[in-house]
């Protein structure tokens, strides 16, 4: 079991508010939350198998069934929708020994990356070598069904808020950061087992309303065991996907810098998964949906939005957040809303003025503009009891999915 109290006693408590109107408290690390996300959090707090309380990180906003930026510990059940559709989605980062790169060099690297790494809905025309895939004696059922496609998708970025970013660190070095997940594989697993859970909950006349969209599987059932195996493979696949992309990023750097570049060890974290952990002296299943584990001394990654800082952090092991922190800045606008309401010229100027190499060209790109996200400085200020900053990273060039 992790040591909580000794380390935590030295931390100034920063939790913003506690809502006590439901069966279980909702502990929040943010001042304001959209109404729909709060409704989802209240639904979670009224589940019969919640352990202690619900925790909302400072980047929390509405998701499917459960807010993104939510942490839910359960006793005896697993909830597919509390993990989400991009199982294992997360971050990896790597420091180089390069201290600077001009705009032309960055553009050359980006050009190489676009040749090596498919983005958006595209993937490799041929299956990638099996050595890049997670090693498993026996593939779970759904994974086996989709494994051929997965071998073409490994080493590809995907769409939405996924990105590859070259950054300059407060430590004086150039860093590379990647945000991506399990591609279509995780989506297939999530949809399949959420449907099974919904059907079973209906058959059992579950007391959890179907409108919550938080159908569960009791952990002793075959269905829960099957989902856990599939989910864990997807987490491993998402890491393998990021690791292969990072290898291709290294290849691009070596090409542009003529081999004169070194890389530090890879940092990797996931922020969509469920895992057995011990909290408040009980073994529970902690669901993190858009939340990063932040045990005492654990290295983590918190990205900003396109055009703002990202952070390499160290966990403080706060028991109240189930040893968790935010997974990023968090959205303040939906995708379609951002495309409708943000000003294209303003968003382009925001990046151009900082000299960032980017690909915002037209209105449809605004769904991932910096203006669609919360202020990362506020998000970081709201979690000083969850993590401490080790390195600040300023964006230099970004490829978006």
Whether the per-residue pLDDT at 302 is higher than 90: the answer is: yes
State yes or no: is 279 an active-site residue: no
Is residue 340 in a domain? Answer: no
Provide the CATH number for the domain around residue 14: 3.90.1860.10
* Residue 305 banded pLDDT, cuts 50, 70, 90: confident
Helix axes 183-203, 141-153, angle to 10 degrees: 160
Whether the per-residue pLDDT at 384 is higher than 80: the answer is: yes
**Tokens 């909702």, located at residue:** 26
Task: Give 70's strand partners.
Answer: 56, 289
* Residue 330 banded pLDDT, cuts 50, 70, 90: confident
Is residue 210 in a domain? Answer: yes
Q: Name the pairing type of β-strands 26-28 and 50-61.
A: parallel
Is residue 149 in a domain? Answer: yes
Percentage with pLDDT > 90 across the chain? 82
Is residue 310 in a domain? Answer: yes
Give residue 238's pLDDT: 98
Is residue 183 in a domain? Answer: yes
Is residue 36 in a domain? Answer: yes
Q: Averaged over 299-306, what is the pLDDT?
A: 94
Whether the per-residue pLDDT at 7 is higher than 70: the answer is: no
Number of domains making up the chain: 1
Q: What are the backbone dihedrals phi and psi of residue 277, each rounded to the nearest 5 degrees, phi first?
A: -145, 165
DSSP3 helix / strand / coil % (the chain, rounded to 5): 35, 25, 40
Give residue 2's pLDDT: 40
Whether the per-residue pLDDT at 331 is higher than 90: the answer is: no
Is residue 56 in a domain? Answer: yes
Q: Averaged over 160-175, what is the pLDDT?
A: 96
Is residue 355 in a domain? Answer: no
Exactly one of 279, 287, 327, 358 is catalytic; which is it? 327
Please give the distance of CA 217 from its chain centroid, rounded to a whole number: 23
81 is in which domain, residue-wise?
5-332+373-400
| Angular region, 166: left φ>0, alpha ψ -120 to 50, beta rest | beta
Query: 273 by DSSP, 3-state: which?
Result: strand
Whether the per-residue pLDDT at 6 is higher than 80: the answer is: no
Give residue 334's pLDDT: 85
Q: Averaged over 56-67, what is the pLDDT?
A: 96
Give residue 368's pLDDT: 86
Distance CA 321, CA 338 (A): 30
Q: Averaged over 318-330, what is the pLDDT?
A: 96
pLDDT tens digits for 27-37? 999 999 999 99
Q: Averaged over 309-333, what is the pLDDT?
A: 95
Q: Name the pairing type of β-strands 272-279 and 291-293.
A: unpaired
Q: What is the pTM of this model?
A: 0.94
Q: Which long-range contacts (CB under 8 A, 24 or more apart) does 4-13 make?
A: 4/317, 4/319, 5/319, 7/296, 7/316, 7/317, 8/316, 8/317, 8/318, 8/319, 11/316, 11/318, 11/385, 12/384, 12/385, 13/320, 13/385
Mean pLDDT of the chain, nearest integer? 93
Whether the per-residue pLDDT at 53 is higher than 70: the answer is: yes
Q: Averaged over 267-296, what is the pLDDT?
A: 98
């Amino acid at each position: 079991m992790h040591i909580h109290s000794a380390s935590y006693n030295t931390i100034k408590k920063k939790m913003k508010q506690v809502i006590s109107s439901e069966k279980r408290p909702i502990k929040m690390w943010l001042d304001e939350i959209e109404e729909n996300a709060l409704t989802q959090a209240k639904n979670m707090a009224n589940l019969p198998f919640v352990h202690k309380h619900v925790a909302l990180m400072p980047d929390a906003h509405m998701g499917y069934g459960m807010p993104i930026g939510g942490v839910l510990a359960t006793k005896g059940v697993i909830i597919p929708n509390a993990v989400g559709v991009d199982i294992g989605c997360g971050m990896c980062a790597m420091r180089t020994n390069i201290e600077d790169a001009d705009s032309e060099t960055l553009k050359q690297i980006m050009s190489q990356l676009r040749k090596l790494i498919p983005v958006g809905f595209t993937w490799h025309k041929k299956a990638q070598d099996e050595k890049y895939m997670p090693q498993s004696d026996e593939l779970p059922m759904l994974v086996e069904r989709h494994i051929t496609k997965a071998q073409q998708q490994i080493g590809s970025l995907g769409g939405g808020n996924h990105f590859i970013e070259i950054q300059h660190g407060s430590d004086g070095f150039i860093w590379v950061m990647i945000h991506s997940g399990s591609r279509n594989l995780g989506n297939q697993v999530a949809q399949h087992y959420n449907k099974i859970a919904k059907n079973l909950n209906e058959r059992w006349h579950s007391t959890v309303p179907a409108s919550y969209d938080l159908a569960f599987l009791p952990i002793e059932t075959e269905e829960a065991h099957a989902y856990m195996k599939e989910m864990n493979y997807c987490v491993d696949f998402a890491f393998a996907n990021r690791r292969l992309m990072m290898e291709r990023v290294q290849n691009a750097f070596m090409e542009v810098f003529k081999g004169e570049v070194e890389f530090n060890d890879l940092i990797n974290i996931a922020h969509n998964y469920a895992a057995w952990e011990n909290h408040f002296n009980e073994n529970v299943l902690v669901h993190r949906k858009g939340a990063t584990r932040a045990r005492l001394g654990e290295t983590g990654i918190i990205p900003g939005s396109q055009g703002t800082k990202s952070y390499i952090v160290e966990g403080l092991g706060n028991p109240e957040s189930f040893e968790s922190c935010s997974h990023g800045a968090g959205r303040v606008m939906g995708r379609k809303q951002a495309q409708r309401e943000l000003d294209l010229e303003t968003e382009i100027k925001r990046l151009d003025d900082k000299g960032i190499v980017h690909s915002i060209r037209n209105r449809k790109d605004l769904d991932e503009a910096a203006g669609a996200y919360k202020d990362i400085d506020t998000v970081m200020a709201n979690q000083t009891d969850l993590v401490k900053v080790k390195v600040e990273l300023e964006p230099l060039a970004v490829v978006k999915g």
